[in-house]
Amino acid sequence: MSRILLIAFTLNLVACASYFKRKECESINWFEHGKKVALRGDWLNADQTVTECRKAEADIQESQLDLGFKNGMQKYCSGPQAYLIGKNGDFFSRDLCEGPQINVLIAEHKKGIADYCAKTNAFSAGASGKKYLNICPQNLEPAFLPEYRKGRKKYVQAMIETTQADIRQLDSSLSSLRSDVSFNKIRLNQLQNEQSLVEAQKNTTPLQASNQRSYLESRLTVLSSEISSLRAKISTSESEANQIEKNRTEKMNDLAAYKSELPGLD
Protein backbone atom coordinates (compact mmCIF):
# COMPACT_ATOMS: atom_id res chain seq x y z
CA MET A 1 0.00 0.00 0.00
CA SER A 2 2.81 2.41 0.92
CA ARG A 3 4.51 1.66 -2.43
CA ILE A 4 1.31 2.56 -4.29
CA LEU A 5 0.99 5.80 -2.33
CA LEU A 6 4.63 6.65 -3.09
CA ILE A 7 4.09 6.05 -6.81
CA ALA A 8 0.93 8.16 -6.76
CA PHE A 9 2.73 10.93 -4.90
CA THR A 10 5.62 10.85 -7.40
CA LEU A 11 3.25 10.99 -10.36
CA ASN A 12 1.46 13.93 -8.77
CA LEU A 13 4.77 15.79 -8.35
CA VAL A 14 5.65 15.12 -12.00
CA ALA A 15 2.24 16.37 -13.12
CA CYS A 16 2.62 19.55 -11.04
CA ALA A 17 6.13 20.17 -12.37
CA SER A 18 4.88 19.67 -15.94
CA TYR A 19 2.00 22.10 -15.35
CA PHE A 20 4.25 24.84 -14.02
CA LYS A 21 6.75 24.22 -16.83
CA ARG A 22 3.97 24.68 -19.41
CA LYS A 23 2.90 27.93 -17.73
CA GLU A 24 6.51 29.13 -17.75
CA CYS A 25 6.91 28.21 -21.41
CA GLU A 26 3.69 29.90 -22.44
CA SER A 27 4.88 33.20 -20.93
CA ILE A 28 7.94 33.32 -23.23
CA ASN A 29 8.12 35.75 -26.15
CA TRP A 30 8.93 33.11 -28.74
CA PHE A 31 9.84 35.53 -31.52
CA GLU A 32 12.49 37.14 -29.31
CA HIS A 33 13.66 33.77 -28.05
CA GLY A 34 14.12 32.42 -31.58
CA LYS A 35 16.04 35.57 -32.49
CA LYS A 36 18.27 35.17 -29.43
CA VAL A 37 19.05 31.54 -30.31
CA ALA A 38 20.15 32.52 -33.82
CA LEU A 39 22.27 35.41 -32.54
CA ARG A 40 24.08 32.91 -30.29
CA GLY A 41 24.94 30.94 -33.40
CA ASP A 42 22.82 27.94 -32.36
CA TRP A 43 20.11 25.91 -34.05
CA LEU A 44 16.64 25.69 -32.51
CA ASN A 45 16.82 21.93 -32.00
CA ALA A 46 19.95 22.44 -29.86
CA ASP A 47 18.32 25.00 -27.56
CA GLN A 48 17.53 23.67 -24.07
CA THR A 49 14.50 25.91 -23.50
CA VAL A 50 12.88 24.87 -26.78
CA THR A 51 13.58 21.19 -26.06
CA GLU A 52 12.14 21.35 -22.52
CA CYS A 53 9.01 23.25 -23.59
CA ARG A 54 8.32 20.86 -26.45
CA LYS A 55 8.74 17.95 -24.05
CA ALA A 56 6.22 19.59 -21.69
CA GLU A 57 3.80 19.87 -24.64
CA ALA A 58 3.47 23.62 -24.12
CA ASP A 59 2.07 26.01 -26.71
CA ILE A 60 5.36 27.55 -27.82
CA GLN A 61 4.04 29.34 -30.93
CA GLU A 62 6.25 27.56 -33.44
CA SER A 63 5.53 30.09 -36.18
CA GLN A 64 6.75 32.99 -34.04
CA LEU A 65 9.76 30.97 -32.95
CA ASP A 66 10.66 30.26 -36.58
CA LEU A 67 10.16 33.89 -37.63
CA GLY A 68 12.32 35.11 -34.76
CA PHE A 69 15.02 32.59 -35.59
CA LYS A 70 15.08 33.66 -39.24
CA ASN A 71 15.21 37.31 -38.19
CA GLY A 72 18.14 36.61 -35.88
CA MET A 73 19.89 34.46 -38.48
CA GLN A 74 19.64 37.28 -41.03
CA LYS A 75 21.45 39.60 -38.62
CA TYR A 76 23.91 36.92 -37.53
CA CYS A 77 24.90 36.22 -41.13
CA SER A 78 25.94 39.79 -41.86
CA GLY A 79 29.40 41.31 -42.14
CA PRO A 80 29.10 43.70 -39.16
CA GLN A 81 27.82 40.92 -36.89
CA ALA A 82 30.53 38.48 -38.01
CA TYR A 83 33.15 41.13 -37.20
CA LEU A 84 31.56 41.83 -33.80
CA ILE A 85 31.50 38.14 -32.91
CA GLY A 86 35.23 37.96 -33.59
CA LYS A 87 35.87 41.21 -31.73
CA ASN A 88 34.11 39.69 -28.67
CA GLY A 89 36.46 36.71 -28.80
CA ASP A 90 33.80 34.22 -29.90
CA PHE A 91 33.75 31.58 -32.62
CA PHE A 92 31.56 32.03 -35.69
CA SER A 93 29.01 29.32 -36.58
CA ARG A 94 29.60 29.14 -40.28
CA ASP A 95 27.12 26.28 -40.76
CA LEU A 96 24.36 28.76 -39.86
CA CYS A 97 25.33 30.97 -42.79
CA GLU A 98 26.38 28.67 -45.61
CA GLY A 99 25.98 30.41 -48.95
CA PRO A 100 27.76 32.64 -51.44
CA GLN A 101 28.54 35.24 -48.77
CA ILE A 102 30.29 32.82 -46.40
CA ASN A 103 33.83 33.79 -47.44
CA VAL A 104 33.07 37.46 -46.79
CA LEU A 105 31.68 36.62 -43.36
CA ILE A 106 34.70 34.52 -42.47
CA ALA A 107 37.00 37.33 -43.53
CA GLU A 108 35.09 39.83 -41.37
CA HIS A 109 35.20 37.44 -38.45
CA LYS A 110 38.97 37.12 -38.79
CA LYS A 111 39.27 40.92 -38.73
CA GLY A 112 37.31 40.95 -35.49
CA ILE A 113 39.52 38.24 -34.00
CA ALA A 114 42.64 40.21 -34.95
CA ASP A 115 41.29 43.25 -33.08
CA TYR A 116 40.30 41.15 -30.08
CA CYS A 117 43.74 39.52 -29.97
CA ALA A 118 45.64 42.80 -30.22
CA LYS A 119 47.97 43.38 -27.29
CA THR A 120 46.30 46.74 -26.64
CA ASN A 121 42.95 44.97 -26.12
CA ALA A 122 44.25 42.04 -24.06
CA PHE A 123 44.03 43.57 -20.57
CA SER A 124 40.48 44.82 -21.19
CA ALA A 125 39.49 41.41 -22.57
CA GLY A 126 40.73 39.74 -19.39
CA ALA A 127 39.24 42.32 -17.03
CA SER A 128 35.84 41.98 -18.71
CA GLY A 129 35.35 38.58 -17.08
CA LYS A 130 35.00 36.71 -20.36
CA LYS A 131 37.14 33.59 -20.45
CA TYR A 132 39.64 33.17 -23.25
CA LEU A 133 38.46 30.58 -25.79
CA ASN A 134 41.87 29.89 -27.35
CA ILE A 135 40.74 31.79 -30.41
CA CYS A 136 43.82 33.93 -31.17
CA PRO A 137 46.12 32.93 -34.05
CA GLN A 138 49.61 31.73 -33.18
CA ASN A 139 51.30 34.94 -34.31
CA LEU A 140 49.18 37.09 -31.92
CA GLU A 141 48.72 34.83 -28.91
CA PRO A 142 52.21 35.21 -27.32
CA ALA A 143 51.76 38.98 -26.94
CA PHE A 144 48.06 38.69 -26.06
CA LEU A 145 48.09 36.14 -23.24
CA PRO A 146 50.36 37.87 -20.68
CA GLU A 147 48.27 41.06 -20.79
CA TYR A 148 45.04 39.05 -20.85
CA ARG A 149 46.12 37.19 -17.70
CA LYS A 150 46.83 40.48 -15.93
CA GLY A 151 43.32 41.69 -16.72
CA ARG A 152 41.80 38.33 -15.83
CA LYS A 153 43.66 38.32 -12.51
CA LYS A 154 42.21 41.73 -11.65
CA TYR A 155 38.73 40.44 -12.50
CA VAL A 156 39.14 37.21 -10.49
CA GLN A 157 40.46 39.08 -7.43
CA ALA A 158 37.48 41.44 -7.59
CA MET A 159 35.09 38.51 -7.93
CA ILE A 160 36.66 36.76 -4.92
CA GLU A 161 36.07 39.87 -2.79
CA THR A 162 32.53 40.33 -4.14
CA THR A 163 31.63 36.66 -3.67
CA GLN A 164 33.00 36.62 -0.12
CA ALA A 165 30.90 39.70 0.69
CA ASP A 166 27.85 37.99 -0.86
CA ILE A 167 28.44 34.91 1.30
CA ARG A 168 28.72 37.02 4.45
CA GLN A 169 25.42 38.70 3.58
CA LEU A 170 23.77 35.33 2.93
CA ASP A 171 25.11 34.00 6.24
CA SER A 172 23.65 37.00 8.04
CA SER A 173 20.26 36.56 6.36
CA LEU A 174 20.31 32.82 7.06
CA SER A 175 21.14 33.36 10.73
CA SER A 176 18.28 35.84 11.08
CA LEU A 177 15.80 33.51 9.36
CA ARG A 178 16.84 30.54 11.49
CA SER A 179 16.45 32.64 14.62
CA ASP A 180 12.96 33.68 13.51
CA VAL A 181 12.00 30.09 12.75
CA SER A 182 13.26 28.89 16.12
CA PHE A 183 11.39 31.64 17.99
CA ASN A 184 8.18 31.08 16.00
CA LYS A 185 8.30 27.32 16.59
CA ILE A 186 8.52 27.92 20.33
CA ARG A 187 5.59 30.33 20.09
CA LEU A 188 3.65 27.82 17.98
CA ASN A 189 4.17 25.13 20.59
CA GLN A 190 2.90 27.51 23.28
CA LEU A 191 -0.21 28.34 21.24
CA GLN A 192 -0.91 24.66 20.54
CA ASN A 193 -0.60 23.84 24.23
CA GLU A 194 -2.96 26.67 25.10
CA GLN A 195 -5.37 25.45 22.40
CA SER A 196 -5.37 21.96 23.96
CA LEU A 197 -6.03 23.40 27.42
CA VAL A 198 -8.86 25.63 26.19
CA GLU A 199 -10.44 22.72 24.30
CA ALA A 200 -10.23 20.56 27.42
CA GLN A 201 -11.76 23.36 29.49
CA LYS A 202 -14.54 23.81 26.97
CA ASN A 203 -15.31 20.08 27.00
CA THR A 204 -15.69 20.12 30.78
CA THR A 205 -17.76 23.30 30.91
CA PRO A 206 -21.51 22.60 31.39
CA LEU A 207 -23.82 23.54 28.55
CA GLN A 208 -25.71 25.78 30.92
CA ALA A 209 -22.63 28.03 31.34
CA SER A 210 -23.26 29.67 27.98
CA ASN A 211 -21.19 32.78 28.64
CA GLN A 212 -18.15 30.75 29.64
CA ARG A 213 -18.53 28.42 26.67
CA SER A 214 -18.95 31.40 24.32
CA TYR A 215 -15.73 32.93 25.64
CA LEU A 216 -13.84 29.63 25.22
CA GLU A 217 -15.13 29.16 21.66
CA SER A 218 -14.10 32.72 20.82
CA ARG A 219 -10.66 32.08 22.27
CA LEU A 220 -10.32 28.86 20.26
CA THR A 221 -11.16 30.77 17.07
CA VAL A 222 -8.44 33.33 17.81
CA LEU A 223 -5.92 30.61 18.65
CA SER A 224 -6.73 28.67 15.49
CA SER A 225 -6.18 31.78 13.39
CA GLU A 226 -2.89 32.60 15.14
CA ILE A 227 -1.66 29.03 14.76
CA SER A 228 -2.49 28.96 11.03
CA SER A 229 -0.79 32.31 10.51
CA LEU A 230 2.30 31.22 12.44
CA ARG A 231 2.56 27.94 10.55
CA ALA A 232 2.43 29.82 7.26
CA LYS A 233 5.09 32.23 8.48
CA ILE A 234 7.35 29.36 9.55
CA SER A 235 6.86 27.61 6.21
CA THR A 236 7.72 30.80 4.29
CA SER A 237 10.83 31.40 6.41
CA GLU A 238 12.00 27.81 5.95
CA SER A 239 11.52 28.06 2.18
CA GLU A 240 13.51 31.30 2.13
CA ALA A 241 16.23 29.68 4.23
CA ASN A 242 16.43 26.71 1.86
CA GLN A 243 16.80 29.07 -1.11
CA ILE A 244 19.50 31.04 0.69
CA GLU A 245 21.36 27.81 1.49
CA LYS A 246 21.17 26.85 -2.18
CA ASN A 247 22.48 30.27 -3.22
CA ARG A 248 25.24 30.03 -0.63
CA THR A 249 26.34 26.65 -1.96
CA GLU A 250 26.52 28.09 -5.49
CA LYS A 251 28.52 31.07 -4.22
CA MET A 252 30.91 28.78 -2.35
CA ASN A 253 31.45 26.76 -5.52
CA ASP A 254 32.11 29.97 -7.47
CA LEU A 255 34.55 31.14 -4.81
CA ALA A 256 36.45 27.85 -4.90
CA ALA A 257 36.67 28.04 -8.70
CA TYR A 258 38.00 31.61 -8.63
CA LYS A 259 40.57 30.77 -5.96
CA SER A 260 41.79 27.71 -7.87
CA GLU A 261 42.16 29.78 -11.05
CA LEU A 262 44.14 32.60 -9.43
CA PRO A 263 47.58 30.89 -9.16
CA GLY A 264 47.62 30.14 -12.90
CA LEU A 265 47.25 33.82 -13.74
CA ASP A 266 50.65 34.87 -12.31
* Confidence grade of residue 16 (pLDDT, cut at 50, 70, 90): very low
**Res 21 pLDDT > 80:** no
In a domain, 201, yes or no: yes
pLDDT computed for residue 14 by the predictor: 40
In a domain, 251, yes or no: yes
**Res 11 pLDDT > 50:** no
Pick from 31, 49, 75: which residue ends a domain? 75
pLDDT computed for residue 32 by the predictor: 96
In 3D space, the residue among 110, 106, 116 whose CA is nearest the CA of residue 141 turns out to be 116
Pick from 75, 95, 111: which residue ends a domain? 75
pLDDT computed for residue 13 by the predictor: 37
* Confidence grade of residue 82 (pLDDT, cut at 50, 70, 90): very high
Pick from 34, 59, 75: which residue ends a domain? 75
pLDDT computed for residue 127 by the predictor: 97
| Rounded distance between C-alpha atoms, residue 150 and residue 39, angstroms | 30
Each residue of 23-56: pLDDT tens digit? Answer: 889 889 999 999 999 999 999 999 999 999 988 8
Rounded mean pLDDT, 233-242: 95
The average confidence (pLDDT) of the chain is: 91
Q: What is the DSSP string of 153-187?
A: HHHHHHHHHHHHHHHHHHHHHHHHHHHHHHHHHHH
Each residue of 144-175: pLDDT tens digit? Answer: 999 999 999 999 999 999 999 999 999 999 99
In a domain, 122, yes or no: no
Q: What is the DSSP string of 207-240?
A: TT-HHHHHHHHHHHHHHHHHHHHHHHHHHHHHHH
Rounded mean pLDDT, 195-210: 89
pLDDT computed for residue 207 by the predictor: 81
**Res 4 pLDDT > 60:** no
Percent of the chain surpassing pLDDT 70: 93
In a domain, 102, yes or no: no
Total domains in the fold of the chain: 2
**Res 235 pLDDT > 80:** yes
pLDDT computed for residue 218 by the predictor: 93
In a domain, 213, yes or no: yes
Percent of the chain surpassing pLDDT 90: 81
In a domain, 136, yes or no: no
Between 127 and 10, the more confident residue is 127
pLDDT computed for residue 56 by the predictor: 85
Residue 101: burial class (beta carbons within 10 Å; 0-12, 13-18, 19+): middle
**Res 213 pLDDT > 50:** yes
Instruction: Print the domain residue range for 170.
Output: 160-265
In a domain, 38, yes or no: yes
In a domain, 81, yes or no: no
Rounded mean pLDDT, 213-226: 93
Reported pTM:
0.77
